[in-house]
């Protein structure tokens, strides 16, 4: 049921331009389990958008509702302005978390088959499939059957099948799962190229560094809720940047320039280390006080919080521990 608070006006836009996806108040229950509880998401066209959270947080259910694979119990979603995303399936490429190709098919046939499901004629699909395989270093495997491929190669073929119909929106559910470091790097480059060509990319992940390296914006999801949705930079800026200062002197009037929360560490052989949040007055005023006070600055660095620190701040330590456990389990 759509309430007035959840209504989406037509032709929704942000300061970044028109929206590829917009959802308000999505709720989904499975029997007595509340899997998704009031999710709001806005994805600008051409963005790389990440849904970040531990396994079981509601990522897959959210993606399936956004794509129209399942309907929400409450709330509304639109894809390119359409209330029924399944009616514009030809504009969408979707790679589910559960991978699967027919093992007896050749690589070009598998890609063509996936294209045919999105309206691409089989002959054209094979032609595009061969081009994609060549482009991604698998030209030698065009005629190989899926059963003869390594796990990484098979996953790459399924990725290419997701793209063969040249969608405007690509949705990946845990795309990095099961890939080694080399193939993860290849996938990151593929995602960047898609965005450069104007394709909107949304992917779910439980690995923070993929989201931090790739995404313009993220939705952090935990226990079916989204406590934060916005830019990666804004999430990181919720935690003040930290200053690491090393001085020759350990005393003097210049110490008044340091905030009360400063932590101090001194080395036996000389040198004093100071750790504190970046003052609101900025770096220039602080450096002036240090130099004029003859603190003897040996090193000075400003360390900005990472997305991991922001995730802990936003979602809590329990969710962060679950996220880390999932990432370690996937790497094992």
| Whole-number pLDDT of residue 16 | 60
CA distance 150 to 101: 13
| Whole-number pLDDT of residue 332 | 58
Q: What is the pLDDT of residues 224-282, one digit of tens each?
A: 999 999 999 999 988 888 999 999 999 999 999 999 999 999 887 778 999 998 887 77
CA distance 151 to 130: 19
Q: What is the pLDDT of residues 24-41, one digit of tens each?
A: 999 999 998 999 999 999
DSSP class of residue 305 equals P
With H, G, I as helix, E, B as strand and everything else as coil, classify residue 50: strand
By the 8 A CB rule, do 10 and 81 touch? yes
305 token code pair: 């919080």
Q: What is the pLDDT of residues 114-152, one digit of tens each?
A: 999 999 999 999 999 999 999 998 999 999 999 999 888
| Whole-number pLDDT of residue 278 | 86
Report which of 84, 137, 146 is spatially closest to residue 111, judged by C-alpha positions. 146
Number of C-beta neighbours around residue 59 at 10 A = 25
- Sequence-distant (6+) residues with CB within 8 A of 123 are 112
Question: What is the total residue count of the chain?
Answer: 332
DSSP class of residue 240 equals -
The two beta strands, 263-266 and 225-231, are unpaired
* Averaged pLDDT of the chain: 90
């Amino acid at each position: 049921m759509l309430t007035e608070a959840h209504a989406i006006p037509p032709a929704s836009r942000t300061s970044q331009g028109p929206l590829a996806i917009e959802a308000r108040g999505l709720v989904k229950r499975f029997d007595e389990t509340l899997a998704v509880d009031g999710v709001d998401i806005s994805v600008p066209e051409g963005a790389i958008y990440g849904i970040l959270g531990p396994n079981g947080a509601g990522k897959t259910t959210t993606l399936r509702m956004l794509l129209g694979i399942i309907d929400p119990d409450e709330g509304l979603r639109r894809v390119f302005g359409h209330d029924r995303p399944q009616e514009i399936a030809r504009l969408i490429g979707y790679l589910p978390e559960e991978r699967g190709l027919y093992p007896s098919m050749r690589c070009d046939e598998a890609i063509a088959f996936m294209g045919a499901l999105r309206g691409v004629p089989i002959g054209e699909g094979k032609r595009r499939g061969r081009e994609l395989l060549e482009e991604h270093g698998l030209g030698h495997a065009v005629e190989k059957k899926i059963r003869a491929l390594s796990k990484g190669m098979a996953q790459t073929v399924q990725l290419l099948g997701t793209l063969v119909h040249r969608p405007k929106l690509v949705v990946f559910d845990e795309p990095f799962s099961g890939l080694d470091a080399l193939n993860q790097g290849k996938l990151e480059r593929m995602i960047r190229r898609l965005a450069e060509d104007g394709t909107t990319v949304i992917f779910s992940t439980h690995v923070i560094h993929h989201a931090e390296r790739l995404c313009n914006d993220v939705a952090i999801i935990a226990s079916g809720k989204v406590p934060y949705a916005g830019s990666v930079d804004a999430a990181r800026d919720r935690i003040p940047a930290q200053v690491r200062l090393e001085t020759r002197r350990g005393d003097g009037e210049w110490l008044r320039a340091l905030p009360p929360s400063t932590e101090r560490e001194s080395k036996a052989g000389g040198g004093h280390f100071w750790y504190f949040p970046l003052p609101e007055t900025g770096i220039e005023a602080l450096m002036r006080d240090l130099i004029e006070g003859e603190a003897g600055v040996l090193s000075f660095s400003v360390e900005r919080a990472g997305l991991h620190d922001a995730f802990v701040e936003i979602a809590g330590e329990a969710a962060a521990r679950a996220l880390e456990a999932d990432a370690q389990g996937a790497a094992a």
